[in-house]
Amino acid sequence: MATELLSPLLPQRRRGLAVAAAAPLLLLLLVVVVFSRSRLTVSSPERVDLTLVAGAREKGAVCLDGSPPGYHLRRGFGSGAHNWLIYLQDGTKLFFRGLRIWEAVIDELMGKGMDIAQQALLTGCSAGSLAALLHCDNFRGRFPQEVAVKCLSDAGFFIDVKDLSGERSMRSLINGVVHLQNVREVLPKDCLQNKDPTECFFASELIKSISTPTFILNSDYDSWQIRNVLAPSGSYPQQAWSSCKADIRNCSSTQIDVLHGFKNKLVSEMKVAEDNKNWGLFIDSCFTHCQTPFHITWHSPISPRLGDKTIAETVGDWYFGRRQDVKQIDCEYPCNPTCSSRLPTA
């Protein structure tokens, strides 16, 4: 039977699949899922109870109000019993103790069976995706070499580009994160020898130091980045870009040219990943952000497709080694007819 990865982020009962969820890390939450190689069918969602981390206060791994972090764990069974997927949710305002929380949660999961995993995948969406890149090699290092460990970044490839007013709004935001949260400790040491910590926090620098096989999933017309990095409020006169950044179909030809420039910049910064034979890419031209959490984008009749394959099929080809050189980069908007206006944006 054909194999694929069904959406790891939806807590749904599937044959051979287990799902676990979430502890606050940096700006995010943690979700854990266990998967199998079987083709799986989707049924109704099920509630997954919150598990608080034992001894979190003693470890200093606490939330802003001093309460312990937690996660949602659904155990696998059958062929999926020893296959784990850790999912880091997109951003929330949880600023401190992220590294301690990460270590406390992962340590606890190792004690609950992840230490005997046969396969493990670390992934996340948006800010959670950036955290997955930051912790990718650390996660790999927790397992014996014979365990298949990989990482997946979804909508976390934020780029350092000037906004419409000529300011580097994203660099300013990242600079605040780096210094407020003291994330220097988890940044690549080789990058820090030559560059400012703020530069080293961007995905284009992080990927240069990651040795673990990684898959990058991103839109090169990322709706969140267009709205908050390229055209943030205050970077353009009056309402000149309001309609365009709300819906790419409203953009003028001049605005589309600007968006093409953004696309070209983003794709050029992925060159390291494109040249790495162990890495995978699915870079579509859809106006969306975070494509793994939603069935409509991950694997459905109206999912974005590249090379006539959905995201789930492409990631599955890469993860299970069904094809070599799994790298798909889309043409310029609006060339892809599978980019539906029903896709979620941020």
Q: Which residues carry out catalysis?
A: 126, 222, 289
The Cα 231–Cα 247 span in angstroms is 13
Task: Report CA-CA distances (Å) from 153 to 273, 280, 331.
Answer: 12, 10, 21
Looking only at the bridges linking them, the beta strands covering 30-34 and 83-88 are antiparallel
Contact 87, 33 (CB under 8 A): yes
In one-letter notation, the amino acid at residue 167 is: E
Tell me how long the chain is.
Answer: 346
- Using DSSP's 3-state secondary structure scheme, residue 42 falls into coil
| Environment class of 315 (CB within 10 Å of its CB; exposed 0-12, middle 13-18, buried 19+) | buried
- SS3 (DSSP) at 151: strand
* Ranges of H-type helices in 247-330: 253-268, 271-275, 295-298, 311-319
Non-local CB neighbours of 237 within 8 Å, separated by 6+ positions: none
Cis? peptide before 334, omega within 30° of 0: yes
Helix axes 98-110, 127-140, angle to 10 degrees: 50
User: What CA–CA distance (Å, rounded) separates 129 from 346?
Assistant: 15
Cβ atoms of 330 and 308 closer than 8 Å: no
